[in-house]
């Protein structure tokens, strides 16, 4: 797999404020990278530098082997970009706007018409073909922005919050579009919707305060979340005392969370120490002591949990650091 | 530079997508008429030329050209579409030139609308058509200089009103630098060379020469280099805002 986008030690400062701090990663063809992070984490700033809109304070971006600073025009040809908020020329109609983008991308005549029609068909924009963009709904605007990004079938797509403002059906449509075209492209999307990462991304990068905090497939990241491999036991309230005291015998339990359920039952969630699988020992205990346990589940870690773990601890650190300085 | 044409066409068309273009042209022609026939005393002079018509152009442009130029960059910044534009495979010079030429072409259309004045003077007498052509050429060149200043000022801000005010101020300086009010200030202490330099920066000095029918290369170079300088500054500002 060839690296289509490679980001090396990218840093961007705005005065004293460091928006992106020594970020490095590589995106090969066929991968959909999900950029995750709280608002202001540096997602958009990074995308602006990858697409050549902002100049990095230090570090390099290569798109298809060409440095965007050295050869911006060649790099920009390889990229389809949906900027944050999908800004466009509001006074143009959808069709005129897409034709303008197509012309700048070097198409003309029948080929231009074919490209514009194909993009409009793909994103279902035919009904707003002759409407001016400023009169479109937020969802349609976003989709016109997507249409201009895929018009020239670029090998690299950079989409800043592509599903923001779309309804659930449109979100689904955009996600399937991304999955459909992903096989021969390198795609970077930013989002703060975690389910989107599960739905479309082959890899997720969690960033906060401009730094990369985690990088892996959604599955890998889930295993790093607190509560991954937790074992949940459902017991009747009257047996809770008995079961809890028996569980004292099991090693490697970090802590036990309780959650009352309907019908006088309670869920006991056993959080393991990192990297330990409790299921076997808990099962053994239940069989040996014939504990009155109704159900046993093993839980997967949740991306959301990891996201909160990482981004909240990083902001706590930053606050501490700020206090000391 | 094949994208220059694409940018130019989009910018020129965008003038006509809003009522601005039509309002501008109507007001431009109306004010031209007032200046020429009332203030310029076109008829009372009894001379078959367009002096009173061209004479007021520097002042007319001071008010009317900045509105044409103010949206060129400020609007892109305000709406964020500059991010889309600058991440397309276009070079900065194509965008700067394309936008400027579109604005210039639009101004030329408005100026062409004044041709009835030429017909009038031709009907009434026997004007020197060469001088009139020179006048139109000079007027168009001067409009280009105003536009280049306006485009540069527009790149400084996302607020069109600020862009307008800045352009008017800078253009005003380029008009009054030939006036005694400015020159007296310099002549009191500065050597003649500086006074002459300041005076030679004025639009009026060069425009008046052309309107008299004297097309001197140095006046053409003056306007061309003024346009070149401000468009270069325009590109530098756009580039600086990126970093």
Q: pLDDT value at position A223?
A: 80
Mean pLDDT of B234-241: 92
| Å between B111 CA and nearest CA of chain A | 25
Q: Which chain A residue is nearest to residue B240, measuring alpha carbons?
A: A55
Q: Which chain B residue is nearest to residue A57, measuring alpha carbons?
A: B243
Segment B124-157, tens digit of pLDDT: 888 888 888 889 999 999 999 999 999 999 999 9
B71-80, B181-190, B227-236: segment of lowest average pLDDT? B181-190
Mean pLDDT of B174-183: 82
- State the pTM of this model: 0.86
Q: Which residues pair with A32 in a beta bridge?
A: A187
Q: Is the pLDDT of residue A173 over 70?
A: yes
Q: Is the pLDDT of residue A324 over 50?
A: no
Q: Do A106 and B89 touch (CB under 8 A)?
A: yes
Please tell me which residue, A221 or B1, carries the higher pLDDT value. Answer: A221
Q: Do A87 and B84 touch (CB under 8 A)?
A: yes
Q: Tell me how far apart the alpha carbons of residues A165 and A143 are, in angstroms, rounded to a whole number.
A: 10
CB B93 within 8 A of CB B6: no
Nearest CB to A85 within list B14, B80, B91: B80
Q: Which of B1, B10, B18, B72 to mutate to test the interface with A (most CBs of A within 10 A)?
A: B10
Q: Which chain A residue is nearest to residue B94, measuring alpha carbons?
A: A104
User: Residues in chain A whose beta carbon is closer than 8 A to a beta carbon of chain B?
Assistant: 48, 51-55, 73-74, 76-77, 79, 81, 83-85, 87-92, 96, 100-101, 103-106, 148
What angle do helix axes A279-289 and A240-247 make, rounded to 10 degrees?
Answer: 120
| Å between B4 CA and nearest CA of chain A | 9
Asked if B12 is an interface residue toward chain A (Cβ–Cβ < 8 A), one would say no
Segment A249-304, tens digit of pLDDT: 777 788 888 888 887 888 888 888 777 777 888 888 888 888 888 888 888 777 77
Nearest CB to B242 within list A53, A96, A105: A53
Q: Which of A14, A89, A142 to mutate to test the interface with B (most CBs of B within 10 A)?
A: A89
Segment A182-217, tens digit of pLDDT: 888 999 999 878 888 888 899 999 898 888 888 888
Mean pLDDT of A292-317: 77
Segment A133-168, tens digit of pLDDT: 999 988 889 999 999 999 999 999 999 999 887 888
List domains and CATH numbers for chain A.
3-224 (3.40.50.300), 231-298 (3.30.70.260)
Residue with tokens 């079961």: A243
Task: Report the mean per-residue pLDDT for chain B.
Answer: 89
CB contacts, 8 Å: A100 with chain B: 6, 10
State which of A14-23, A70-79, B138-147 shows the largest mean pLDDT: B138-147
Q: Do B88 and A76 touch (CB under 8 A)?
A: yes
- Whole-Å CA distances, B51 to A64, B44, B47, B87, B112: 61, 13, 9, 48, 17
Mean pLDDT of A14-25: 90
Q: Tell me how far apart the alpha carbons of residues A137 and A139 are, in angstroms, rounded to a whole number.
A: 5
Q: Do A81 and B84 touch (CB under 8 A)?
A: yes
Residues 6+ apart with CB under 8 A from A69: A52, A55, A56, A60, A61
Helix (H) or strand (E) holding A102: helix A94-104
Segment A122-132, tens digit of pLDDT: 888 899 999 99
Mean pLDDT of A61-84: 90
Confidence of residue B181 (pLDDT cuts 50, 70, 90): confident
Mean pLDDT of A63-80: 89
CB A133 within 8 A of CB A93: yes
Q: Is the pLDDT of residue B53 over 80?
A: yes
Q: Tell me how far apart the alpha carbons of residues A171 and A120 are, in angstroms, rounded to a whole number.
A: 17
Nearest CB to A53 within list B14, B87, B91: B87
Q: pLDDT value at position A323?
A: 40
Segment A221-260, tens digit of pLDDT: 888 777 777 888 888 888 888 888 888 777 778 888 888 8
Q: pLDDT value at position A322?
A: 43
Q: Which chain A residue is nearest to residue B7, measuring alpha carbons?
A: A104
Burial of A46 (0-12, 13-18, 19+ CB in 10 A): buried
Percent of chain A with pLDDT over 90: 37
Count of CB pairs separated by less than 8 Å, A with B: 67
CB contacts, 8 Å: B15 with chain A: none
Asked if B240 is an interface residue toward chain A (Cβ–Cβ < 8 A), one would say no
Q: pLDDT value at position A318?
A: 54
Complex prediction ipTM: 0.88
CB A146 within 8 A of CB A166: no
CB contacts, 8 Å: A49 with chain B: none
Q: Do B83 and A87 touch (CB under 8 A)?
A: yes
Asked if B218 is an interface residue toward chain A (Cβ–Cβ < 8 A), one would say no
Can you read off the two tokens belonging to residue A212? 């990369």
Mean pLDDT of B211-224: 87
CB contacts, 8 Å: A84 with chain B: 80, 83
Q: pLDDT value at position A276?
A: 76
Q: Is the pLDDT of residue B48 over 60?
A: yes
Q: Do B3 and A104 touch (CB under 8 A)?
A: yes
Q: Is the pLDDT of residue A320 over 60?
A: no
Nearest CB to B81 within list A51, A81, A89: A89
Can you read off the two tokens belonging to residue A294? 């109704």
Confidence of residue B1 (pLDDT cuts 50, 70, 90): low
């Amino acid at each position: 797999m060839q690296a289509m986008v490679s980001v090396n030690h990218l840093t961007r400062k705005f005065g004293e404020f460091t928006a992106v701090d020594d970020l490095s990663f590589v995106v090969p063809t066929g991968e959909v990278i999900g950029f995750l992070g709280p608002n202001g984490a540096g997602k958009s700033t990074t995308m602006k530098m990858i697409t050549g809109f902002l100049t990095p304070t230090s570090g390099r971006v290569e798109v298809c082997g060409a440095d965007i600073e050295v050869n911006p025009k060649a790099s920009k040809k390889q990229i389809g970009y949906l900027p944050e908020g999908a800004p466009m020329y509001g006074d143009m109609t959808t069709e005129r706007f897409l034709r303008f983008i197509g012309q700048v991308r070097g198409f003309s005549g029948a080929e231009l018409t074919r490209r514009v029609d194909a993009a409009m068909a793909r994103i279902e924009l035919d009904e707003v073909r002759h409407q001016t963009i400023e009169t479109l709904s937020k969802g349609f605007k976003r989709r016109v922005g997507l249409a201009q990004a895929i018009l020239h079938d670029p090998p690299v797509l950079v989409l800043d919050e592509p599903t923001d403002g779309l309804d659930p059906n449109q979100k689904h449509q955009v996600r399937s579009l991304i999955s459909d075209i992903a096989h021969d492209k390198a795609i970077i999307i930013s989002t703060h919707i975690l389910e989107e990462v599960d739905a479309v991304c082959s890899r997720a990068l969690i960033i906060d305060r401009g730094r990369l905090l985690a990088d892996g497939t959604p599955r890998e990241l889930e295993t790093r979340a607190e509560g991954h491999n937790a074992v949940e036991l459902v017991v009747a309230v009257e047996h809770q005392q008995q079961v809890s005291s028996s569980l004292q015998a099991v090693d490697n339990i970090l802590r036990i969370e309780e959650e009352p359920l309907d019908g006088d039952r309670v869920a006991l969630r056993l959080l393991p120490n990192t990297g330990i699988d409790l299921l076997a020992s808990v099962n053994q205990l239940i069989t040996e002591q014939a504990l009155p346990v109704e159900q046993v589940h093993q839980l997967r870690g949740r991306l959301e949990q990891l996201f909160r773990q990482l981004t909240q601890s990083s902001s706590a650190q930053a606050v501490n650091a700020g206090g000391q300085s | 530079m094949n994208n220059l044409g694409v940018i130019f066409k989009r910018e020129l068309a965008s003038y006509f997508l809003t009522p601005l273009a039509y309002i501008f042209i109507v007001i431009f022609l109306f004010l031209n008429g007032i200046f020429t026939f009332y203030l310029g005393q076109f008829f009372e002079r009894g001379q078959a030329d367009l002096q009173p018509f061209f004479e007021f152009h520097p002042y007319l442009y001071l008010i009317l050209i900045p509105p044409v130029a103010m949206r060129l960059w400020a609007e892109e910044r305000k709406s964020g579409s500059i991010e889309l534009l600058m991440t397309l495979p276009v070079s900065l010079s194509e965008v700067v030139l394309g936008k400027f030429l579109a604005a210039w072409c639009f101004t030329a259309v408005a100026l062409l609308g004044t041709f009835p004045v030429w017909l009038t003077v031709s009907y009434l007498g026997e004007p020197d058509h060469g001088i009139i052509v020179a006048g139109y050429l000079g007027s168009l060149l001067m409009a280009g200089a105003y536009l280049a200043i306006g485009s540069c000022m527009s790149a400084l801000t996302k607020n069109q009103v600020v862009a307008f005010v800045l352009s008017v101020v800078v253009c005003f300086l380029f008009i009054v630098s030939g006036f005694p009010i400015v020159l007296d200030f310099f002549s009191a202490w500065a050597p003649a060379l500086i006074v002459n330099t300041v005076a030679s920066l004025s639009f009026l000095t060069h425009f008046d020469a052309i309107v008299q029918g004297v097309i001197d290369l140095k006046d053409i170079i003056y306007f061309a280099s003024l346009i070149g300088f401000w468009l270069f500054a325009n590109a530098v500002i756009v580039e600086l805002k990126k970093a």
